[in-house]
Structure 1
Amino acid sequence: MAIDLLNHKLDRAFDHIDASGNGVVEREDLLGLGARILVGFGESPTSRAGSGLVDSFDGIWATLTAALDRDADARFSREDFRIAMTSAFVKGDRYEPVFKPATVTVAELCDHDGDGLIGPGEFRTLLSAFGTAYDDVDEAFDRLDRSGRGALTRDELVLAAWQFYACDDPNAAGNWLFGPL
């Protein structure tokens, strides 16, 4: 993967987590992103889906801290985050067992009505939790909805997440997951 593209995408991910903009991320920041997702979909953190999201985000944090040989109370700079994400999820073997289950849980939450599809409104709710600019959401959705049916399947959203975080194709639709790079 071109290092500039990877760093740009990982910087975007860092900014999603660092909602306060203080230049570091901590476990509470990642769990805060999870909380924003849960609130957006009206889901309790103690429900099956809610606890699944919290547990999967905790698993991501544990994997990131292990990648840098730090404890759970660690704080990551942008560069630390890039190194940990690359080591664990991009080049390492932790994407499938750790990161992908989190994306599956998020896709299940997005499919709020359980029809197997994620419509534009559900997608907008998700991206607002990540802090994506309102004007970028429609274009992101259109880029991901390659069939033009007006909805994404859960699997398409999970694939888009993989393409955003781990794919080396600069033309992959998933690069648009959070809007234009």
Structure 2
Amino acid sequence: MSNALAKDRLRKRFARWDVDGNGLLELEDFKQEAARIAAGFGATPDSPGVQALHGAFEALYTHLAEQSGSSAQAGISEQSFLQVTEQLLFAEGEAAFNRALSPVVKALVTLSDSDGDGMLNASEFEAWLSGIGLPRTEAAETFRKIDENGDGQLSEDELLRVVREYHYGRLDVELLG
């Protein structure tokens, strides 16, 4: 695993989430990111999936702020974000990463899962990519690549694994936009 690649991806994640570009991650940035994704899905703000997405992003922000030692009002600097997320990825391990990101993945599954079975088929996965603002052009190939058990369905656990592997720098499939 390349720590430099992982750090580069975390810097890009910081820039993506720093919606207002002021060099700090703030709760409002996370709220705006959730709203952007909800709009990408065409979901109404009061739908359960959108509410879950907002709650997940707010909880993630609160967790990152607490872990960085920043107050929720002060925001999180890029350096603090890198320290906290590197700790999460490389020191605390898979279980800690899953606790932090699982609610976001679960909310995205809820928004994408048109048949309500808790799993994503190929067309629902394509909707996920579109909803987060990624091109659908490689959706089928990407789906096959990450459907490791070949059952034609992606579980929350499979999707969380892909998000984790991307941030570890071991997989080139970005699922958070």
Q: TM-score range by the shorter chain?
A: 0.7 to 0.9
User: Which residue in the other structure is 1:50 paired with?
Assistant: 50
Deviation at 1:63, TM superposition (A): 1.0
Q: How far 1:69 sits from its partner (Å)?
A: 1.2
Corresponding residue number in structure 1 for 2:71: 71
CA distance in 2, matches of 1:137, 1:11: 25
Q: Following the alignment from structure 2 to structure 1, what is the Cα–Cα distance between the partners of residues 34 and 91? A: 25
Helix, strand or coil: the match of 1:176?
Answer: coil
1:40 aligns with 2:40: yes
Counterpart of 1:178 in structure 2: which amino acid? E
Structure 1 counterpart of 2:14, one-letter code: F
Aligned length: 173
Contact 2:11 2:82 in 1 (8 A): yes
Q: Is the 8 A contact 2:30 2:61 kept in 1?
A: yes
Distance in 1, Cα, partners of 2:45 & 2:96:
24
Change in Cα spacing, 1:91 to 1:132, as seen in structure 2 (3 Å) is farther
Shift of 1:32: 1.8
2:11 is matched with: 11
Q: What's the Cα RMSD here? A: 3.1
Which consecutive unaligned segments of at least 5 residues does structure 1 have? none
Runs of 5+ consecutive residues of structure 2 not aligned to the other structure: none
List per-residue Cα deviations over 1:84-123 (Å, max 9, x = no partner).
2223455336434332222222222221222444244433
- Which of the numbers 156, 173, 177 marks the counterpart of 1:177? 173
Letter matched to residue 39 of structure 2: V
Superposition pairs for residues 29-178 of structure 1, below 5 Å?
A: 29-88=29-88, 90-92=90-92, 94-133=96-135, 135=137, 137=139, 139-146=141-148, 151-165=153-167, 167=168, 170=170, 175-178=171-174
Which one-letter code corresponds to 1:7 in the other structure? K
